[in-house]
């Protein structure tokens, strides 16, 4: 039935299987008598009032049916959005439903069933957006709508009884302090890598004999595990702080932000340098010859012709680096670098998974938002110079 867009969809069948398995087999929430004891899994059928169970199951089954049989992207996107709008508040309602009245010690956390439902609806929404072929501005608008919906959910108090929000309530000040530090550490290291990497990339493009050894050294740095690199930098920076008063005065220490920042800069150099070289090399020779024929100097050809045409490729390298550093900055907490990783490792040490999620979920959200924003910027830059 092509007019209605009805046809069997393979990806949709996988999404439907995930959603139905999550709704009927996996636990929807986990109930714990206190913060650190083992939890009791509760299925969706036992975690909500009857009316809400009917609404959630109707949304899940309806979305599964659409995913399998309807190929029209707009209908699939609506089904995914409805599923998310129903399931997200439902897990907050579940926390109040399964917790005994007057019990302030109990903790309720979203379980694997909830997260798998979110994943299934997210896959359906992502597939729909891909098929709709949204432009960069439309993708940015979709990101803004998603961010607004999450903010509305959190501000509405629907998740107030969840253990994740209780962990946040006791650490509000420290959470925002570490979140700011995480963002500044990630963005600052990327900015420093761009300032260093772009000239190195231009040098490798112009002086071919430098290219191979430079990229080999950066490749070696990239292969060193993050924990090992953080540890290797602690010794020289600690020695520098102990023997150079100026270094200690400006905050350089063997542990803390300094080794974390330097390690992130070193990790970021390879994608930026390599993409700068590739972007400049792929500029058509005919364009360069035309610029030379117009009387442009070598410097003018580089900055007025080659660099603008290479910009989308260079921005792709910066995108890779930013997403990478937002994740690696989490590991920096192991050496006192701060950031959202502080909550991740505190949670692991205390066997408190909700504290782990308090650090992990914002990190994933920041990485996803950074990827969407930079993808849009790259596409807009490509259109501007096409």
144 and 213, same domain (yes or no): no
Residue 215 lies inside a defined structural domain of this protein: yes
Nearest of 226, 220, 219 to residue 260 by alpha carbon: 226
**Are 85 and 69 a contacting pair, CB within 8 Å?**
no
Over 60: is that where the pLDDT of 177 sits?
Answer: yes
| CATH number of 189's domain | 1.10.3720.10
Structure confidence by residue, pLDDT tens digits, 10-40? 888 999 999 999 999 999 999 988 766 778 8
Helix locations, 171-256, DSSP H: 172-206, 208-223, 226-243, 245-249
Catalogue the long-range contacts made by 216-224 (C-beta closer than 8 Å, 24 or more residues apart): 218/269, 218/270, 218/273, 218/274, 219/270, 221/266, 221/267, 221/269, 221/270, 222/267, 222/270
Report for 118-122, 165-169, 296-300: range of highest mean pLDDT: 118-122
Residue 255 lies inside a defined structural domain of this protein: yes
The mean pLDDT of the chain is: 87
> Would you state the structure tokens that stand for residue 322, as one six-digit string?
């930013």
Structure confidence by residue, pLDDT tens digits, 318-370? 999 999 999 988 988 888 788 899 999 888 888 788 889 999 999 999 999 99
The pairing of strands 40-43 and 107-110 is unpaired
184 and 146, same domain (yes or no): no
86 and 141, same domain (yes or no): yes
For residue 299, the model assigns a pLDDT of 85
* Domain of residue 290, residue span: 172-384
Structure confidence by residue, pLDDT tens digits, 75-128? 999 999 999 999 999 999 998 898 887 777 788 899 999 999 999 999 999 899
Look at residues 160, 193, 219 and tell me which one is the last residue of a structural domain. 160
139 and 182, same domain (yes or no): no
In residues, how long is the chain? 386
199 and 62, same domain (yes or no): no
Q: Please give the Cα distance from 16 to 4 (Å, whole number).
A: 20
178 and 326, same domain (yes or no): yes
Looking at the DSSP bridge assignments, the partners of residue 109 are 30
Could you please report the per-residue DSSP string of 69-102?
Answer: HB--HHHHHHHHHHHHHHHHHHHHHHHHHHSPTT
197 and 131, same domain (yes or no): no
DSSP symbol at 305: I
Number of domains in the chain: 2
- Give the SS3 label for residue 141: helix
**Are 167 and 352 a contacting pair, CB within 8 Å?**
yes
Over 60: is that where the pLDDT of 5 sits?
Answer: no
186 and 217, same domain (yes or no): yes
Residue 197 lies inside a defined structural domain of this protein: yes
């Amino acid at each position: 039935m092509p007019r209605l867009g009805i046809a069997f969809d393979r990806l949709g069948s996988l999404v439907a299987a995930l959603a139905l398995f999550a709704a009927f087999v996996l636990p929807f929430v986990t109930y714990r008598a206190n913060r650190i004891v083992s939890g009791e899994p509760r299925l969706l059928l036992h975690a909500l009032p009857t009316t809400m169970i009917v609404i959630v199951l109707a949304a899940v089954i309806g979305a599964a049916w659409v995913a399998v049989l309807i190929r029209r992207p707009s209908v699939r996107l609506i089904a995914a959005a409805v599923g998310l709008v129903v399931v997200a508040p439902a897990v907050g309602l579940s926390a109040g439903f399964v917790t005994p009245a007057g019990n302030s010690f109990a903790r309720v956390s979203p379980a694997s069933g909830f997260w798998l439902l979110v994943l299934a609806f997210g896959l359906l929404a992502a597939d729909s957006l891909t098929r709709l072929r949204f432009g960069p501005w439309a993708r940015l608008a979709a990101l803004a709508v998603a961010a607004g919906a999450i903010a509305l959910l959190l501000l509405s108090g629907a998740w107030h009884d969840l253990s994740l929000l209780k962990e946040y309530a006791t650490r509000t000040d420290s959470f925002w302090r570490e979140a700011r530090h995480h963002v500044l550490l990630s963005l600052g290291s990327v900015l420093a890598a761009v300032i260093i990497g772009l000239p190195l990339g231009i040098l490798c493009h112009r002086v071919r004999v430098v290219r191979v050894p430079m990229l080999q050294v950066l490749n070696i740095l990239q292969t060193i595990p993050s924990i090992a690199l953080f540890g290797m930098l602690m010794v020289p920076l600690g020695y520098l702080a102990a023997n150079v008063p100026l270094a200690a005065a400006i905050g350089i220490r063997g542990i803390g932000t300094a080794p974390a920042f330097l390690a992130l800069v070193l990790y970021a150099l390879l994608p930026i340098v390599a993409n700068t070289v590739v972007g400049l090399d792929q500029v058509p020779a005919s364009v360069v010859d035309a610029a030379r024929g117009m009387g442009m100097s070598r410097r003018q050809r580089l900055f007025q012709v080659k660099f603008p045409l290479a910009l989308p490729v260079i921005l792709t390298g910066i995108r890779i680096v930013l997403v990478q550093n937002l994740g690696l900055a989490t590991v920096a907490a192991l050496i006192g670098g701060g950031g959202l990783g502080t909550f991740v490792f505190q949670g692991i040490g205390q066997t408190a998974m909700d504290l782990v999620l308090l650090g992990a979920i914002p990190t994933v959200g920041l990485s996803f938002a950074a990827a969407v924003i930079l993808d849009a910027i790259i596409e807009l830059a490509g259109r501007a110079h096409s």
